[in-house]
Amino acid sequence: MPIWTYDFTMARAATTTDAFNAVAEPRRRQILDAVAAGELSVSDLVALLGLPQPLVSKHLRVLREVGLVTARDDGRLRLYRLNGFALKPIYDWVKDFEDLWSERFARMDIVLAELKQATPEITEDGDDSDGDDE
Protein backbone atom coordinates (compact mmCIF):
# COMPACT_ATOMS: atom_id res chain seq x y z
CA MET A 1 0.00 0.00 0.00
CA PRO A 2 1.27 3.44 -0.72
CA ILE A 3 2.36 5.25 2.37
CA TRP A 4 2.36 8.25 0.12
CA THR A 5 0.00 10.30 2.15
CA TYR A 6 -0.03 13.70 0.52
CA ASP A 7 -1.09 14.95 3.86
CA PHE A 8 0.83 18.14 3.72
CA THR A 9 -1.54 20.49 5.46
CA MET A 10 -2.14 18.24 8.42
CA ALA A 11 1.41 17.05 8.77
CA ARG A 12 2.78 20.52 8.65
CA ALA A 13 1.15 22.43 11.41
CA ALA A 14 -1.74 22.50 13.76
CA THR A 15 -0.97 26.15 14.27
CA THR A 16 -2.05 28.85 11.89
CA THR A 17 1.12 30.75 12.53
CA ASP A 18 3.83 29.52 10.28
CA ALA A 19 5.34 31.01 7.16
CA PHE A 20 3.26 28.74 4.90
CA ASN A 21 -0.03 29.98 6.28
CA ALA A 22 1.18 33.53 6.44
CA VAL A 23 1.90 33.65 2.72
CA ALA A 24 -1.29 31.81 1.81
CA GLU A 25 -3.18 35.10 2.08
CA PRO A 26 -2.82 37.14 -1.13
CA ARG A 27 -2.80 40.50 0.69
CA ARG A 28 0.08 39.36 2.82
CA ARG A 29 2.01 38.32 -0.27
CA GLN A 30 1.44 41.82 -1.63
CA ILE A 31 2.85 43.25 1.56
CA LEU A 32 5.86 40.95 1.39
CA ASP A 33 6.51 41.99 -2.21
CA ALA A 34 6.32 45.61 -1.19
CA VAL A 35 8.66 45.39 1.80
CA ALA A 36 11.08 43.22 -0.15
CA ALA A 37 11.97 46.32 -2.13
CA GLY A 38 12.86 48.33 0.97
CA GLU A 39 11.66 49.49 4.38
CA LEU A 40 8.13 50.82 4.53
CA SER A 41 5.84 52.26 7.16
CA VAL A 42 2.20 51.28 7.68
CA SER A 43 1.07 54.44 5.93
CA ASP A 44 3.40 53.72 3.00
CA LEU A 45 1.75 50.32 2.67
CA VAL A 46 -1.75 51.77 3.01
CA ALA A 47 -0.99 54.16 0.16
CA LEU A 48 0.74 51.53 -1.94
CA LEU A 49 -1.85 48.79 -1.63
CA GLY A 50 -4.97 50.90 -1.25
CA LEU A 51 -6.11 48.92 1.79
CA PRO A 52 -7.56 50.24 5.04
CA GLN A 53 -4.96 50.83 7.71
CA PRO A 54 -6.42 48.39 10.29
CA LEU A 55 -6.25 45.61 7.71
CA VAL A 56 -2.64 46.38 6.82
CA SER A 57 -1.75 46.44 10.51
CA LYS A 58 -3.47 43.13 11.08
CA HIS A 59 -1.56 41.48 8.25
CA LEU A 60 1.70 43.00 9.42
CA ARG A 61 1.10 41.55 12.87
CA VAL A 62 0.71 38.06 11.40
CA LEU A 63 3.82 38.51 9.28
CA ARG A 64 5.82 39.66 12.30
CA GLU A 65 4.60 36.75 14.41
CA VAL A 66 6.01 34.25 11.94
CA GLY A 67 9.16 36.30 11.44
CA LEU A 68 8.58 37.16 7.80
CA VAL A 69 8.93 40.86 8.47
CA THR A 70 10.91 42.71 11.09
CA ALA A 71 10.21 46.19 12.41
CA ARG A 72 12.38 48.97 13.73
CA ASP A 73 11.44 52.37 15.10
CA ASP A 74 12.82 55.40 13.37
CA GLY A 75 11.68 58.39 15.38
CA ARG A 76 7.91 58.30 15.29
CA LEU A 77 7.83 55.90 12.40
CA ARG A 78 7.84 52.14 12.61
CA LEU A 79 9.47 50.70 9.52
CA TYR A 80 8.92 47.18 8.26
CA ARG A 81 11.12 45.08 6.07
CA LEU A 82 11.29 41.54 4.74
CA ASN A 83 13.19 38.88 6.62
CA GLY A 84 14.08 36.60 3.72
CA PHE A 85 15.47 33.88 5.96
CA ALA A 86 11.96 33.12 7.22
CA LEU A 87 10.99 32.22 3.66
CA LYS A 88 13.52 29.40 3.59
CA PRO A 89 11.09 26.64 4.63
CA ILE A 90 8.91 27.58 1.67
CA TYR A 91 11.87 27.67 -0.64
CA ASP A 92 12.98 24.26 0.64
CA TRP A 93 9.49 22.92 0.18
CA VAL A 94 9.28 23.94 -3.48
CA LYS A 95 12.92 23.04 -4.03
CA ASP A 96 12.37 19.38 -3.38
CA PHE A 97 9.67 19.24 -6.00
CA GLU A 98 11.96 21.18 -8.33
CA ASP A 99 14.74 18.66 -7.65
CA LEU A 100 12.46 15.82 -8.72
CA TRP A 101 11.84 17.56 -12.03
CA SER A 102 15.54 18.34 -12.45
CA GLU A 103 16.27 14.64 -12.04
CA ARG A 104 13.64 13.77 -14.61
CA PHE A 105 14.95 16.31 -17.10
CA ALA A 106 18.56 15.22 -16.62
CA ARG A 107 17.44 11.74 -17.61
CA MET A 108 15.52 13.14 -20.57
CA ASP A 109 18.77 14.80 -21.70
CA ILE A 110 20.34 11.36 -21.96
CA VAL A 111 17.36 9.99 -23.88
CA LEU A 112 17.43 13.01 -26.21
CA ALA A 113 21.16 12.66 -26.89
CA GLU A 114 20.47 9.11 -28.06
CA LEU A 115 17.50 10.17 -30.16
CA LYS A 116 19.61 12.85 -31.84
CA GLN A 117 22.26 10.26 -32.68
CA ALA A 118 19.62 8.00 -34.15
CA THR A 119 18.00 10.74 -36.26
CA PRO A 120 20.87 12.99 -37.35
CA GLU A 121 19.49 14.61 -40.46
CA ILE A 122 15.94 15.46 -39.53
CA THR A 123 15.18 19.11 -39.17
CA GLU A 124 11.41 19.31 -39.20
CA ASP A 125 8.96 16.48 -38.80
CA GLY A 126 5.53 17.74 -37.90
CA ASP A 127 3.50 14.57 -38.01
CA ASP A 128 5.75 12.42 -35.95
CA SER A 129 3.01 11.66 -33.53
CA ASP A 130 2.77 7.99 -33.08
CA GLY A 131 4.60 4.82 -32.24
CA ASP A 132 7.75 4.68 -34.29
CA ASP A 133 9.54 1.41 -34.25
CA GLU A 134 12.11 1.17 -31.53
> Residue 65, SS3?
helix
73 versus 111: smaller Cβ distance to another protein: 111
Stretch near another protein under the rule CB under 8 A, chosen from 32-40, 56-64, 68-76, 125-133 = 125-133
**Binding status of residue 13 toward another protein by CB under 8 A:** no
Among positions 73, 85, 106, 120, the unique one binding another protein when judged by CB under 8 A? 106
**Burial call 46-63: b when 16+ CB within 10 Å, e when fewer:** bebbebeeeebeebbebb
Q: How far apart are CA 49 and CA 70, in angstroms?
A: 19
**Binding status of residue 37 toward another protein by CB under 8 A:** no
**Binding status of residue 127 toward another protein by CB under 8 A:** yes
Sheet with 69-74: strands ordered across: 40-41, 77-82, 69-74
Q: How far apart are CA 81 and CA 120, in angstroms?
A: 55
47 versus 91: smaller Cβ distance to another protein: 91
**Binding status of residue 132 toward another protein by CB under 8 A:** yes
| CA gyration radius, the chain | 24
**Binding status of residue 30 toward another protein by CB under 8 A:** no
Among positions 75, 94, 120, 121, the unique one binding another protein when judged by CB under 8 A? 94
Q: How far apart are CA 87 and CA 23, in angstroms?
A: 9
Q: Write out the residues near another protein by the rule CB under 8 A.
A: 1-9, 24, 26, 93-94, 96-113, 115-116, 119, 122-132, 134
